[in-house]
Amino acid sequence: MIVFVVNISVAQTRFNNRVNFGFPAQYITSVVATDSCYYVTGTGVLSVSPYKEGIFFAIMDLFGEVNSIKTYDSFPGKSIEYANNKMFFSKGYFYCSAYFIYSDQIRKPALIKFNTNGDTVFIREYPSELGYETWHNALDGIRSQDGNFYLTCNIFNQTTQNYNADIIKIDSTGKQIWSRIPLPNVPDNLLHLASSLVELNDGSIILSTKLIQFAGVHSNFVRRNQIIKIDTGGNLLNYWTSPVGELWVGDHNDILQTQDGGIVFTMARATEEFDDSLASWHYLNRYGGICKLSNDLSEQWMVTYDDKNPYEMNHYLNRVIELDDGSLVAAGKHFESYQPDSVYLEDYELWDYWNYNGWLVKFSAEGDSIWSRQYHYVISPMDEHFITDIEETEDGGFIMCGQAGDMFHKPPPGQQGWLLKTDEYGCIVPGCQVSVEEREIEDNYLNIYPNPAKDYLNIFLQRKNNDPVKDAKGRLIDLNGNILIEFSMLQSDLTYILPVDIYPSGMYIFQYIHHNEIISSQKVLIVK
């Protein structure tokens, strides 16, 4: 049995938009929420050789539509790019760390100051004190209570082959004060990589880093997280390293200080697995999670989430925020792998398919899971959808940004910006927070929102046991029975986002299919 619900009106704004900001390929790295609009920034790639990167600054209305865009891609002999850099607002201006890439691939960190219209007040570059032959990428930046700025960077000296995390201190005018490598004595076989930083209430600075091996190591992995505390002069005060023998990883280890004075950061635990198809090669299964330390950097707890489904996984949490009640919400990406059986997929000669879904998790101040949401853009058999930033909104919901990428887009590339707005439960489809057991139904629940639809159908599916079902499908057909699109609905408790703006106005039918049997059908009205 499956139940369909059509919502006529809802109290909170919900949307998801796949957005182009003037580049062939782009993604949004950061969002700042206000009660009247959203400010976003991100990276794009030019379509003309040598395909230089650029950045954009956009103002979006509260429904996720673009009000204005400013692009910056004209830098002679170099280009500018973000990694996971977070934009922040301070004293009437926006700031974001970035880095320049020169034609010889040398990289130098930068700090950008925008006004509220997106015009650049300054873009300051900070050459490495180790000399020109250096890769130096800025990953994050903050403004401290005294008005100074701190950037955290990865610095690689091509002459000595050393890779370290460093911190740059900058005054309020953008002038560099100092640059420090807080832990210079890293073992020769490891890279020391920066992620994020935060200022504590006492004025000290905390840097999140990780220790990993050089590329080319395929077994006996070393993956450790490290949290470093320094004073305002760059002097090392304390540090914590995850236990020896345990694999702690993460895509971007975001960090914040909680209301009780503790320190929380995103991470991922991993297990080393043997791949019998690649001789001696091993691989890592990664489970996204959160770790909390006390103010003195002793570990309080560590929790991973969604580590049972699916069975092959690479799950990451990239950004974490704290709510007023002390609970925490983190966003990132969630891996799924499947072998499809679908009319929609017959044109693709691949044995196995995979997707990265957008992922949002809420948990208590003690690390207990409250809910987990996933969002999958239905574009092609292999997609990369991930969330890079999140903020709480005025109505108690969440605004998130990242990319919705189509790996089979013709012509390539299919990488576009992604902006999502949910309610306080992480729902794009109203009511997704209610469990199957609470609904008192036997097997499945499916809700389509909105209906009528203009651009997207958001389809929320729950199965009673929340198990993956390989041959479950969604199908949109016209009233003549022609199949317009068919796609896998492998996972349960997930919102499938189906673009419908390419279809003419009119009535259509959405079908949910299992074991080649139509379980249920629902009429859908598409309007322009």
Within this chain, do residues 458 and 413 fall inside the same structural domain, yes or no?
no
pLDDT band at 2 (very low <50, low <70, confident <90, very high): very low
DSSP 214: P
Within this chain, do residues 108 and 210 fall inside the same structural domain, yes or no?
yes
Closest by CA position to 520, among listed 427, 438, 428, 443: 443
Q: Is residue 433 in a domain?
A: no
The reported pLDDT for the residue numbered 387 is 95
Mean pLDDT computed over 179-206: 90
Within this chain, do residues 336 and 450 fall inside the same structural domain, yes or no?
no
Q: Is residue 427 in a domain?
A: no
Within this chain, do residues 417 and 456 fall inside the same structural domain, yes or no?
no
The reported pLDDT for the residue numbered 294 is 97
The reported pLDDT for the residue numbered 234 is 95
pTM for the complete prediction? 0.91
Q: Is residue 2 in a domain?
A: no
Within this chain, do residues 412 and 461 fall inside the same structural domain, yes or no?
no
Closest by CA position to 240, among listed 258, 262, 272: 262
Structural domains of the chain, count = 2
- Residue listed under structure tokens 């600054």: 57
E strands, 352-443, are 353-363, 369-377, 383-392, 398-406, 415-422
- Residue listed under structure tokens 């003309």: 48
Cβ(97)–Cβ(110) below 8 Å: yes
- Tokens found for residue 223: 């993956």
Using one digit for the tens of pLDDT, what is the confidence trace for 93-104? 999 999 999 988
Within this chain, do residues 453 and 363 fall inside the same structural domain, yes or no?
no
State the chain's mean pLDDT as an integer.
87
Cβ(411)–Cβ(403) below 8 Å: no
Within this chain, do residues 415 and 482 fall inside the same structural domain, yes or no?
no
Residue ranges making up the domain that contains 356: 15-422
Q: Is residue 371 in a domain?
A: yes
Within this chain, do residues 365 and 473 fall inside the same structural domain, yes or no?
no
Across the beta sheet with 66-72, the strand order is 25-33, 38-45, 53-60, 66-72
Within this chain, do residues 458 and 389 fall inside the same structural domain, yes or no?
no
Within this chain, do residues 509 and 401 fall inside the same structural domain, yes or no?
no
Cβ(23)–Cβ(56) below 8 Å: yes
pLDDT band at 8 (very low <50, low <70, confident <90, very high): very low
Rounded Cα distance between 320 and 328, Å, is 7
Q: Which of 1-5, 208-212, 491-495 is modeled with the greatest confidence?
A: 208-212
Phi, psi angles (nearest 5°) of residue 439 = -75, -15
Query: Which CATH number covers residue 468?
Result: 2.60.40.1930
Host H or E run for residue 439: helix 436-439
Rounded Cα distance between 238 and 320, Å, is 23
Query: Which CATH number covers residue 310?
Result: 2.130.10.10
Q: Is residue 275 in a domain?
A: yes
The reported pLDDT for the residue numbered 343 is 36
Using one digit for the tens of pLDDT, what is the confidence trace for 410-452? 655 678 999 999 999 999 999 999 877 777 766 778 899 999 9
Within this chain, do residues 451 and 418 fall inside the same structural domain, yes or no?
no
Using one digit for the tens of pLDDT, what is the confidence trace for 221-232? 899 999 999 999
Phi, psi angles (nearest 5°) of residue 343 = -60, -40
Q: Is residue 279 in a domain?
A: yes
End-of-domain residue from the set 369, 390, 422: 422
Cβ(87)–Cβ(41) below 8 Å: yes
Could you please report the per-residue DSSP string of 338-359? E----GGGTT---S-EEEEEEE
Cis-peptide, bond into residue 340, ω within 30° of zero: no
The reported pLDDT for the residue numbered 442 is 63
Mean pLDDT computed over 331-359: 62
DSSP 413: P
Within this chain, do residues 378 and 496 fall inside the same structural domain, yes or no?
no
